[in-house]
Every structure is written in C-alpha cells, then in structure tokens.
Structure 1
Amino acid sequence: MDQDWQALATQRAEYVSERIRGLLSSGLDFLRAELGLDLGIKPEQYPSWLILSAALIGLTVLLLIAACGRRKRRAAPTPVKAAVPPKSVKTEPSEPKKKNKKKAAEKVSGLRL
C-alpha cells in the first residue's frame, strides 16, 4: 500500500514538473522570439525536484506579497479620528454676544446730533 501511494505521488510530481517545464520553455521561446533575449536556460537539463521547489517558492512569495498588500489596503480606510471621542461643546457662551444692528431711525438721529 505504501508503494502504491509513493508511486502515485512520484507520477503526479513528474506530471506537474513536465507541465512547468513546458511553460518555462514556451516563456523562454517567447523572450527569444519577441525580445531577442536569450537567457541560456535549458529546462530539460534540470531535475524535477528543482523545478517543483522553484515553483513552490515563487508561489509562496506571490501569496505573501498579496497578503501583505491586502492587509495594508484594509487598514487604510479606517480613520484615526473615529477612535478619538468627540470634544465636548459648550452650550452656553461665557459672554453674551452684543448686537451691532441699529435701527435705521437711530442711525439717522445719531448722525444729526
């Protein structure tokens, strides 16, 4: 039973590594054809464990970057001022305001004196 499980895991790992090798080869061909850039990498020469571990590390880094970016975005909309209680507002002024409006008749009579 253990050998069946190990054989199945090995078969799946080889399948995934072949798919990744194919994607890597097509990406390198694209770089060579479109940009004229030859990196000198030949995916056929690398072992399966190296290709799988590189893909796993790359996926982990992408997930970490996405998680960090998402955490920062959530924290930004929360205003800091909302956590501070509002200041108390005085309802009665300490000094009453003086009215500067004079009646039109008083203005006229004040000028004639």
Structure 2
Amino acid sequence: MVESIVSSALIWFVGLLVGAVGIAAGAKLLLDRDTGFRRAILTALIGATVWALVSYFIGGIPLIGPILMLIIWIGVINWIYPGGWGTAAGIGLVAWLVAVGILFALSTVGVVTPDALGIPGV
C-alpha cells in the first residue's frame, strides 16, 4: 500500500516537472523571453487540475468533451501567459511535443512509463 502511494506520488511529480519543462520551453520559444520556471509549474499544475475536472464532468461526451477540455487547457495557458489565444495554443503544442520527447527518452531507459505526464492527453 505504501509502495503504491509512493509510486503514484512519484509519477505525479515527474509528470508535473515534465509538463512544466514543456510549458517553459513553449513560452521561451514563442514569447522570446524568460517567463520563469515557477510560472510554468503553476501553469502545469492548474492546467492538469482543470483538465481533470473538466474531463470528469464532460470528458465522456464524444467529440465535444475532448475539444472543450483542450480549449479550456489552452485557456489556462492564455490566462497565465501574455500573447493571446494563438500564442497559448502554440505554447501548448510545443509543451506537448517536448513532453512526448522527454517521456519517450525516460521510458526508453526505463525510468518512467509513458503515462507519467503533466500535459493532458499525452
């Protein structure tokens, strides 16, 4: 039981860090300035929480649920970072690509499984 809790906490923490690294990379690339890693962690934390809540309530609605979940997640990025919806979508796309790359590398060496994510839907 304790091992399961520790494992879950570790997966959550790695996911949060991977998501934050991805968001920070997207923000740095699209905003062309350092916006701070704390902001990326906050964005990953709020984004994942909002994603989970929206998923719970409307995620099961075919097509509409996942689209609304994605729009709301991008909305969190838009709320926290300057630049508008286009920039937020770009940050989200870069974050997703970076997270996939990091998790692929980590799973290749056996550190994590690909389900350890801080970016929803990866």
TM-score range, shorter chain: 0.3 to 0.5
Larger helix percent: 2
Q: Which of 1 and 2 has higher RCO (CA within 8 Å, sep 6+)?
A: 2
Larger Rg: 1
